[in-house]
Amino acid sequence: MGPTALCIGALVIISITHWVYRWRNPRCNGKLPPGSMGLLLLGETLQFFAPNTSSDIPPFIKKRRERYGPIFRTSLVGRPVIVSTDPDLSYFIFQQEGQLFQSWYPDTFTEIFGRQNVGSMHGFMYKYLKGMVLNLFGPESLKKMIPEVEGEVCRNLKRWSNQHTVELKDATASMIFDLTAKKLISYDSEKSSENLRKNFVAFIQGLISFPLNIPGTAYHKCLKGRKKAMRMLKNMLEERRANPRKHQVDFFDYVLEELVKENTILTEAIALDLMFVLLFASFETTSLALTLATKFLSDHPLVLMELTEEHEAILRTRENSNSGLTWKEYKSMTFTFQFINETVRLANIVPGIFRKALREVKFNGYTIPAGWAVMVCPPAVHLNPDKYKDPLDFNPWRWKGMELNGASKHFMAFGGGMRFCVGTEFTKVQMAVFLHCLVTKHKWQAIRGGDIVRTPGLQFPNGFHIQISEKKNKQQEATSNSILSNSDYAQASHLYG
């Protein structure tokens, strides 16, 4: 072996050693939070995504918090990340949006969602799009939507009660998708030849997968699903352009009107990306929340009783019990909102909220280097025993008299600060209306499934199969059960709510 080869060999070894050293000890102008950067390149990605059946703080977070404290460093999907389980730092991160921190999601997410989605957009364009979306899902639109939502939900529940059993996660996802797609783009799944939702399902199944784009992989199917869905959306937009409507009714009308304006910053590509994100953001999250809510009701008869009482009282105080839900009635559902808060607190549907440090940030003696990713960890906040007594217990009554504001340090199921979820109220409307129809008109029984897995996002690997049937109204029930004594009847109606 010549001296040159030896020299090169030594150089290679030195640079690899240096690389490994730098991987383990990243450069920083101050004190980095403690933690481990894991394996070269892979970091601790695999541990982070390891499935677990517990509803507690993910073991990945819990173990490291015990070892290193509430703020620690790690490496996920090829990026150095600071994890925050500290309520003050998390709050600070939300408040500093656009100044010290900026929304950031892993590159695979950007690839999948399109480069111009709301999540990764900043500044002026962002505010403009947000205004547009808020307009669509703001209180004025939602007020008008209540009868629509009620009609759709009741129709679906009735249909499910004619089936032997129904898998609730899929059924609610389909229902919410149809509702949102109808609202956004007037898409009617029954009249359309192509199935838009099918493409979204393929998309979601590969969303959190290894980003290897070759035929056969989940990631490949995911990208293909997105491509097909985008093509459908584009065709629909074209069709609308060819047949414009007089009055602006849905998002397409709005977009087309904006696109012809002079000096508009909106492009068709941006509008379609946004469309896709909205459809995705709405049906997956809300259907998980509804499925978990129904499971909680099955497991907690006292909660079911109080919820049923609240909704039957609404019907009783009406002149005509069939007159349909009003906005005022919706706003009066005190216990329902406590129930929804408790459900999303424990659901932890979004297990991590990502940001990027725009500049070097000092906090509590630690330094977060510029360019590093930061992950706020909602489960750590929602399962904090100092703020929520017996945090793993499902207890909607704990919310009684809790006067928290939307951007509270101790509740971030819908995020916080400037990026607070624009769909929050829309979700609540859908959940409240669903619960209303469910408990006043139906009874149900869990058949199988309902077990959860977190990867770390919430999943129902075996679905949640229930048997659902229509409640007879009280009078019918009383006559058909006339052989029962009064006390039996009282007991029966007690059981069924």
Residue ranges that bind ligand NAG, judged by CB under 6 A: 52-54, 59, 337-338, 341, 399, 402, 404-406, 408, 411
Is residue 423 close enough to count as binding ligand HEM by CB under 6 A? yes
Asked if 161 and 441 touch (Cβ cutoff 8 Å), the reply is: no
Q: Which does 447 bind (CB under 5 to 8 A by kind): ligand HEM, ligand NAG, none?
A: none
163: left (phi over 0), alpha (psi -120 to 50) or beta: beta
Rounded CA-CA distance 349/284 in Å is: 10
Q: Which does 341 bind (CB under 5 to 8 A by kind): ligand HEM, ligand NAG, none?
A: ligand NAG
Quote the least distance from Cβ 259 to ligand HEM, whole Å: 20
Q: Which residues pair with 71 in a beta bridge?
A: 84
Please report, as a single letter, which amino acid is at residue 69.
Answer: G
Of 47, 84, 116, 282, the residue at the interface with ligand HEM (CB under 6 A) is: 282
Asked if 429 and 142 touch (Cβ cutoff 8 Å), the reply is: yes
Mask: binding to ligand HEM, 287-316, rule CB under 6 A, as x and -?
Answer: --x---------------------------
Quote the least distance from Cβ 318 to ligand NAG, whole Å: 23
Rounded CA-CA distance 286/357 in Å is: 30
Which sign, positive or negative, has the C-alpha torsion 228, 231, 235, 237?
positive
Quote the least distance from Cβ 415 to ligand NAG, whole Å: 11
Which residue has its beta carbon closest to ligand HEM?
Answer: 423
Is residue 330 close enough to count as binding ligand HEM by CB under 6 A? no
Quote the least distance from Cβ 436 to ligand HEM, whole Å: 17
DSSP-assigned letter for residue 455 = S
Quote the least distance from Cβ 417 to ligand NAG, whole Å: 13
Is residue 286 close enough to count as binding ligand HEM by CB under 6 A? yes
Helix (H, G, I), strand (E, B) or coil at 493: helix
Q: How remote is the C-alpha of 226 from its chain's centroid?
A: 19
Instruction: Say how many residues touch ligand HEM, by CB under 6 A.
Output: 26
Quote the least distance from Cβ 427 to ligand NAG, whole Å: 12
Q: Which is closer to ligand HEM, CB of 119 or CB of 463? A: 119
What six digits make up the tokens of 306? Answer: 């109080």
Is residue 160 close enough to count as binding ligand HEM by CB under 6 A? no
Q: Which residues pair with 366 in a beta bridge?
A: 363
Rounded CA-CA distance 301/496 in Å is: 9
Closest CA to 356 of 341, 339, 373: 373
Is residue 119 close enough to count as binding ligand HEM by CB under 6 A? yes
Please report, as a single letter, which amino acid is at residue 366.
Answer: Y
Residues that bind ligand HEM (CB under 6 A): 103, 118-119, 130, 133, 137, 277-278, 281-282, 285-286, 289, 344, 349-350, 353, 413-415, 419, 421-423, 426-427
